[in-house]
Amino acid sequence: MNQRIKFALLAALFTTSIAPTVSFAQVAIDKTIAVVAGKPISQSELNERVKVNREVAKRAKQKASDAELINYSRDELINEHLLLNRAKNARITVGDEQVNAALQEMAQGNGMTVEQFKAHVTKIGGANAWQNLSDDLKSQMTIDALMRQEILSKIKEPTAKEIDAEVARVSAIADGPMSPQEVAVAQHIFIENPSAASLKKIKAIKARLDKGEDFGAVAKQVSENSETAANNGQIPYIGLNDKQADPSVVQLARTAPLNIVSEPLKTKNGYHLFKISERTTLTLNDDAKKAMAKDALMSMRQKEATEQYFKELDASKASLVEIRN
């Protein structure tokens, strides 16, 4: 499940399920903390976003003070309203069928039908949770469409000369990304959240595999990484010298016996089972190097274009945003 969808789900459930009950009198006096392009942002909206971001930070094991969360959440809401206003002016819309398709993706990612997922969301979050989820998704998908139209579509692809120059530059780096890489080929089962319940669940899965069940079939059935689960648990290569990867995963990939299911491995994200099938040296051919160089150049240009776009967005705040205390 991608981050946009995961955040929308968290926002819809978290703000609905734990937000305090608000009386009619309280709603009537809910103060406006900012006005963006004529549209107010209420204190209750800010409070709910702070709660969501506090939970996001907690799950990511990041520390943030109340003041930092409030300022970040207020700026986030203001930026979202500015972007939605730009989307409106650009006549960018997202139809109900697109939102429904995203909801279906979420349901499938959780192993449910849409009807089952709606019932689950409503049970956890309350009567308004499903509508909140739909509205949040629609807003975020609208912003995504705006970004594609105003940023991504305007980025020029690098020329062959630029790609060749990037290949030469990166190839000259000792042990760089274009050097031969020692890798492990592996299958993977993941259970989210490093909790006692998740440990119990992964141990039960390990027991099934130890009795002879097929790793790929079990991964497709139970793994909570939907992308690899769909591919029978097969994951991209694990770099045996990858300094960006979790050291415990790299160590397991280096030392685990081949074709044997590993013991459960705990990381900050949850519990894992691996089955290493091969260790080999991966050498990129010229086409792969050029593809890597092109991706790197496009990513750099996208980053630069996005930064410039948001600088312009910040500049527009003087005329479009009114902050109220």
Yes or no: say if 194 and 271 are a contact pair by the CB < 8 Å rule: yes
User: Does residue 6 have a pLDDT over 80?
Assistant: no
Rounded to two decimals, the pTM is 0.68
In this predicted model, what pLDDT tens digit does every residue of 131-164 receive, in sequence order?
988 998 999 999 999 999 999 999 999 999 999 9
Q: Look at the block and give the residue holding tokens 């097969």.
A: 234
In this predicted model, what pLDDT tens digit does every residue of 78-101 receive, in sequence order?
999 999 999 999 999 999 999 999
CA distances from 101 to 105, 106, 107, 176, 208 (A): 6, 9, 10, 40, 34
What domains appear along the chain, each with residue ranges and CATH number?
A: 3-150 (1.10.4030.10), 181-282 (3.10.50.40)
